[in-house]
Amino acid sequence: MPRRQKIQDPNDPMAVLARVALEDQAEKIREKQSRAKSREVALQQMHKTEADDWARKFRFQAICDHLLGNHRVGVIPEKKRCALHKDYLSDKSVRIYCGKCRIEMHPGDTAEFLFIRNADGVLVKMPNPTKKSWREMNQYFYSFENSSDLTSRAFRIERVEPEDIDSEEVRVLKDLQIPAA
Residue 64 DSSP class: -
* Model confidence pLDDT, tens digit, residues 98-119: 988 999 998 889 999 998 888 8
With 0.75 as the threshold, say if the pTM is over it.
no
pLDDT digits (tens, 9 = 90+) for 83-100: 888 888 777 778 888 988
Alpha-helical segments (H) within 64-149 = 134-142
Cβ contacts of residue 175 below 8 Å, gap of 6+? 92, 93
Inter-residue contact 123 to 115 (CB < 8 Å): yes
Tell whether the model's pLDDT for residue 165 goes beyond 80. no
Q: Could you tell me if residue 151 is inside a domain?
A: yes
E-strand spans in the chain?
A: 84-88, 94-98, 104-105, 113-117, 123-127
- Say how many domains are in the chain: 1
- 50 domain residue, yes or no: no
Residue 156, domain member (yes or no): yes
Would 139 be classed as within a structural domain? yes
Query: Is residue 35, in this structure, part of any structural domain at all?
Result: no
How many CB atoms are located within 10 Å of the residue 85 CB? Answer: 18
- Residue 140 lies inside a defined structural domain of this protein: yes
Domain that holds residue 113: 84-176
List of residues 6+ apart from 157 with CB closer than 8 A? 87, 88
Cβ distance 156 to 145 under 8 Å? no
In a domain? residue 54: no
Residue 40 resides in a domain: no
